[in-house]
Amino acid sequence: MPDIADWERHELTSLRGIAYTAKTKPDHRFRDLSRTIDETLLDYCFHKLNKKAASGVDRITWSGYQKHYTANVGNLIGRLKRGGYRARLVKRKHIPKGAGKTRPLGIPVVEDKLLQTAASEILSAIYEQDFHPFSYGYRPRRGARQAADDLVVRMQFGRFGYVVEADIKGFFNHIDHDKLLEMLAQRIDDKRFLHLINKWLKAGILEEDKRIHYPEEGTPQGGSVSPILANIYLHTVIDEWFEKVVKLHCEGIGVRHKYRSPI
């Protein structure tokens, strides 16, 4: 059965409206997205958070935040409206990666994670209309299994001369902040919303040895908004390049399958 249209899959009317506009008006630049972050959207996103996730630097868990949820969200919305919101420090946690290496994860506080999830839902409503069908990583109703199945069928029955496998080393750690914000500005004409994203990109990181540093590049793996930001960045610099430049020089069928591991 065919998938439901991307713009129709959203449960909230506000997100569905954004997605429909993005689908029908590819050149539209969105204004006042920050106003979309209201109590309804935050309620919807709060129940999507991992209830068992580790706490951030404030040591407040999902259940702890829920105890005073109405007051917490009211306070958060108030700070957003008057420009008083500040991103908290991101707790760094290193997990084993294999071969003696580790992967740095960033753990935001629940409030920041909630707000990032809301921003991620808004960005997804816009950019899911732009992303190419060969992109599988960090996307709704898609994953490694679908990518593998599709690739197997294409390889069996398609006409290909080359298969290229590539891995971007330390991608999340080296995303250029300024370039990412420039990419977002092509679709988003809301300085408050873009400034909100910049706050998360620049948020201080509390290392395991208690040192604090402020990143000049990259997005913290573990942040709710990082996957969609990564997809937007790669869509612009790789996917669009492949579609508009590389495929013009391909003989036969030029097909691309992209999947990034969520870890």
**In angstroms, what CA-CA distances link 178 with 20, 181, 198, 216?**
28, 5, 9, 10
Query: What are the pLDDT digits (tens) for 43-96?
Result: 999 999 999 999 999 999 999 999 999 999 999 999 999 999 999 999 999 888
The mean pLDDT of 233-250, rounded to a whole number, is: 86
DSSP codes of every residue in 17-52 = HHHHHHHH-TT--B--GGGG-SHHHHHHHHTTS-TT
Res 156 pLDDT > 80 = yes
Rounded Cα gap, residues 107 and 206, in angstroms? 10
- If phi > 0 it is left, if psi is from -120 to 50 it is alpha, else beta; for residue 19 that is alpha
Contacts (Cβ under 8 Å, ≥6 apart) of 244: none
Higher pLDDT, 6 or 178: 178
Res 8 pLDDT > 80 = no
Q: Give the percent of the chain with pLDDT over 90.
A: 62
Query: What are the pLDDT digits (tens) for 178-223?
Result: 999 999 999 999 999 999 999 999 999 999 999 999 999 988 778 8
Q: Using 50, 70 and 90 to split pLDDT, how confident is the model at 247? A: confident
What's the pLDDT at 244? 87
DSSP codes of every residue in 49-90 = S-TTPPP-TT---HHHHHHTHHHHHHHHHHHHHHT---PPPE
Higher pLDDT, 100 or 70: 70
What's the pLDDT at 30? 97
What's the pLDDT at 233? 94
Rounded Cα gap, residues 260 and 138, in angstroms? 7
What's the pLDDT at 63? 96
Q: Using 50, 70 and 90 to split pLDDT, how confident is the model at 263? A: very low
What's the pLDDT at 7? 65
Q: Using 50, 70 and 90 to split pLDDT, how confident is the model at 256? A: low
Please classify residue 222 by burial: count the beta carbons closer than 10 Å to its beta carbon, then call 0-12 exposed, 13-18 middle and 19+ buried. Answer: buried
Res 162 pLDDT > 70 = yes
Stated pTM of the model: 0.89
Res 124 pLDDT > 60 = yes
What's the pLDDT at 120? 96
What's the pLDDT at 262? 41
**3 state DSSP class of 252:** coil
115-120-49 Cα angle (round to 5): 60
Based on its alpha-carbon atoms, the radius of gyration of the chain, rounded to whole angstroms, reads: 19
